[in-house]
Structure 1
Amino acid sequence: MKYSMIFLLSLAVCTPSVVQAETNDQEIQQIKQEVERLKDEIGSLKQQLNQPTESTRNLNINHDANRTQWGCYLDDVKAGSFYGTGSSEAEARGKTLQKCSDRGGACFEVEVKCSQSK
């Protein structure tokens, strides 16, 4: 009788952990499936982001049309005239001075004249 009681108690204690282990395995499997589904969905969304739409194409065209362009020039007696363009005044000024320097001119930033166009 003692042994029967011990057996029944040990069975009662062990059974919930076995059932719980099976439940945990099922939950883990469901989570793995959900993760795979989400990975697929992320891949699909990445592809959609990389494909330009009609509205983004129009935005790019309009952006280029409204982009401001800078132009700078420098006249050097020794090396001649130089012209540089860029999307900012600093870029255009730098290109102009670089061209002058490449030809061995006396290039002073103060002498560079810049203007902006659309």
Structure 2
Amino acid sequence: MRIRLKRIYDDVADDDGYRVLVDRIWPRGVAKKNARLDAWSKELAPSNELRRWFGHDRERWEAFCRAYRAELDECDPQAIDELRRRADTEGLTLLFAARDTECNNAVVLADYLESR
């Protein structure tokens, strides 16, 4: 299983594999035609309520991780399985817009995919 994490603002690489945006809101300043996405999985992003509550506040990180994992447990299992399959076969790049590259939903989702 190969999962990479990248900001959507970073350059596309030949070895990115399957590129999927995992944010609920389209990132500012990125034209959809230039994003070079294979998918936009809004349904796997944190709920608007959780996203707003977290607000990228590192003091809320652990609680955010627990709450987001609980939301992922309730997601369509086929969507989760599809990302795992892509990670196993062609590689998967989870794209996110957050400035914080260590504490964001893509980090939690990657860990969730790898641990199941």
TM interval, short-chain normalised: under 0.3
Higher normalized helix content (fraction of residues): 1
TM-score by length of 1: 0.20
From the CA coordinates, give the structure whose radius of gyration is larger: 1
Could you say which structure has the greater relative contact order, defined with CA pairs below 8 angstroms and 6 or more residues apart?
A: 2
TM-score normalised over the length of structure 2: 0.20
